[in-house]
Structure 1
Amino acid sequence: MEAGERLVIFLSEEETRALVTRELAYEAALSALLEAADGGVLFPAVVGHGSSPANRFTVKSAAAARAAGVKVGSYWPGNTERGLPRHNSVILLFDQSVGRVAAVVEAGFANAYRTAAADAVAADVLARPDARSLAVFGTGPQAWHECLALARVRDLSVVHVVARDAARGARFVADLAAEGVAAVLTGPEEACRSADVIVTATTARAPLFEAGWVRPGTHVASMGSDGKGKQELPVELLASARLFCDWPAQSVAIGEFQHVPDARPTAVGDVLAGRATGRSSPDDVTVFDSSGIALQDLHLGVALLRAAGHTPPPVG
């Protein structure tokens, strides 16, 4: 090795699975959302697919004071039959002093923690302090992580689970109960009318419920709308709610707010930093759109490197 050269650090999926915690993911999401609103440079997502168009991936990049790099997220639906996760994630962190990739972090499992953590960070500043009931649409791995992440920031009395498949829904409810989280299988209207917080974690392309079912004071989070044509929430709800997101330019392009002409959502990082108002009244309906920004992944990658005992790449 020549003088000045550095070995590329590699963290495998197995290593990051063992290292990630909900606290680590929460702190990474919090710091990333703050930095994004404080001048982080985020770039549009590049969407591609494998030899089969059903196998898709996105490339998202970001640069800020603490990190620069790329996140590649993939979705291979056929992996279910192979006993493998459908979603995977790889984070590339640059050594900015020389412009080379310094760390490769596999983070498919950890990515689900990060996504849920972003929702928990937003809910902690936007949901009413006395919020106790949660409605979750979806019974996949991401919905599971959403419930457990939100249980860290609010003392949930019950989770209303809305499932397309009753058997999967029943298993989801039982699994939450095993984690000490009370849950019941509920229809969509009853779930919304009973909830202080509503979270959608699906691949829907049409609204999952009606605006009139959402009671005043509810906090709503869309986690599944991260591409053109995806939609989970009714437009009528967005027209009257206070709108927040991880990054406005991306949210109106590929997130939930692509369906709202002239939407001007507030970056939740500005609320966290005290530069913008979040909830202004107990009756406000707040909506958080999490289309997913690479800066969250970079902060997660840095946190995982530190947890593994590595020094993060130089930033300049």
Structure 2
Amino acid sequence: MLPTTDLTPGGLLHVAEERTAELVDEELALEAARAAFAATVDGTVFPSVSVHGSDPRNRFSLKPAASATHAGVKIGSHWPDNPRHGLPCHHSTLLLFDQTIGRIAAVLEVGTANAYRTAAADALAVDLLARPDAGTLAVFGTGHQAAYDVRAVSRVRPIRHVLVVGRDRSRAERMAATLAAGGRDATAVDADEACARADVIVTVTNATTDSPPLFPADRVRPGTHISCMGADAPGKRELDPALFPRARVFCDLPEQARGMGECRNAPEGTPLTPLGEVLTGRAEGRAGHDDITVFDSSGIGLQDLYLGLALLRRMGVTL
């Protein structure tokens, strides 16, 4: 299918991965995230669906969304054997409807843009919940997404030191070296040192309930903010459940967080505050210097819808 700008009824716009990757940046993604989370307060938010392909190791999710003017669905896939084919494990495709006739009006390949989108949700949570003087960031995870989150968080806080933690120490050292080559003070450390030094912790792994939590709850210092970006499907877990009673917990969508997010592993009755309510001033974020705050991000379709529309506007296209 060739890219086209035919937007007549029944026409179809196709925007290839290379084009959306050129268009996206941290500023556009963060502004789209702000708009999406603000829209969660008074609008309808549909829960995501996580399923698997014919091979159960191949996972994909569907994240539907509708605003007052637009609707669509993002399909995000994780095919772990893709590196054998020279392809990334993750990819995403956004479908936008023609609201008049119900057909697909636009198809956007948004693999790279999705990494910006996820990191933008992390940055928004850090901006709303972390201490203003937070200067040390610990990132647990050495995969594709981690570097995007480091860049995004560094835009909203004066991050001076980045601590990299990975199950494979050599991969953590390589990532730290890459970050250092880009001008950051980055070091590979173990989980204990990361928790002892970090003002902000970002977890962006594929950890599951079959393995121990990434770090014990009692290692987390008072005043730390934690963004949990990896637990976005049933069976995933990054945090020690014992951390929740010590923390104030925020999420994108409470019912989804309890069903497929990190909060699925939280004690029953754990209060969850939607991040959109903090953004719009309807709920309190950090209440004190020593608060431990946790943001559980399982991802909502409004993020994808608003990002896709922002990409089209940057192209000069209005659906």
What is the TM-score normalised by the length of structure 2?
0.94
| Correspondence list, 1:228-247, <5 A | 228-247=234-253
1:214 alignment partner AA: V
Counterparts of 1:46 and 1:236 in 2: how far apart (Å)? 27
Structure 1 counterpart of 2:275: 268
1:212 is aligned to 218
Question: CA contact under 8 A between 2:50 and 2:62: conserved in structure 1?
Answer: yes
- Aligned equivalent of 2:119, options 111, 116, 119: 116
Q: Which residue of 2 aligns with 1:199?
A: 202
Question: 1:67·1:299 contact (CA, 8 Å) conserved in 2?
Answer: no
Counterpart for residue 283 of structure 1: 290
Once the two structures are superposed, residues 126-175 of structure 1 have per-residue CA deviations (whole angstroms, 9 ceiling, x without a partner) of: 00000000111001111111101001001111011001222211210111
Per-residue displacement from partner, 1:275-304 (whole Å, max 9, x unpaired)?
Answer: 000001001000001101111001111011
- Cα distance, 1:49 vs. partner? 2.4
1:70-149 equivalence runs, <5 A: 70-149=73-152
Give yes or no for contact 2:47–2:300 (8 Å, CA) kept in 1.
no
Hey, what's the Cα distance between the residues in 2 that align with 1:58 and 1:245? 18
One of 148, 159, 162 as aligned partner of 1:156: 159
Pairing partner for 2:171 from 157, 168, 174: 168
Q: Which runs of 5+ in 1 are unaligned?
A: none
- For the pair 1:48 / 2:51, whether they are aligned, the reply is yes
Cα RMSD for the two superposed structures:
1.4
Q: Which moved more, 1:161-170 or 1:191-200?
A: 161-170
Task: Give the aligned length.
Answer: 309
- Structure 2 residue identity aligned to 1:65: A
Q: Which of 299, 306, 314 matches 1:307?
A: 314
2:253 aligned with 1:250: no
Query: In the alignment, is the contact (CA less than 8 A) between 1:139 and 1:172 conserved in 2?
Result: yes
Q: Which residue of 2 aligns with 1:26?
A: 30
Which string of whole-angstrom CA distances, capped at 9 and with x for unpartnered residues, describes residues 241-288 of structure 1? 000011111111100101121233111110010000000100100000
The alignment partner of 2:127 has SS state of helix
User: Which is worse superposed, 158-167 or 144-153?
Assistant: 158-167
| Aligned position for 2:233 | 227
Structure 1 runs of 4+ aligned residues shifted over 3 Å read none
Report if aligned partners of 1:156, 1:181 keep a CA contact under 8 Å in 2.
no
How far did residue 66 of structure 1 move?
4.4
Shift of 1:50: 2.4
Q: Is the 8 A contact 2:9 2:98 kept in 1?
A: no
TM-score by length of 1: 0.95
Q: In 1, are the aligned partners of 2:48 and 2:301 still within 8 Å (CA)?
A: no
Q: Distance in 2 between matches of 1:68 and 1:163?
A: 38
CA distance in 1, matches of 2:216, 2:110: 35
Q: For residue 211 of structure 1, what is the amino acid of its counterpart? A: A
Q: Is the 8 A contact 2:225 2:293 kept in 1?
A: yes
Overall identity of the aligned pairs, in %: 54
> What is residue 292 of structure 1 aligned with on the other side?
299
Matches within 5 A, 1:169-184: 169-184=172-187
Tell me the CA shift for residue 309 of structure 1.
1.8
Query: Mean Cα displacement is larger for which, 58-67 or 155-164?
Result: 58-67
Question: 1:205-246, CA deviations, whole angstroms, 9 ceiling, x for partnerless residues?
Answer: 141001111111000010000111211011111112000011
Give the residue type in structure 2 aligned to 1:161.
V
Structure 1 pair 174–66 and aligned structure 2 pair: CA distance change class (3 A): farther
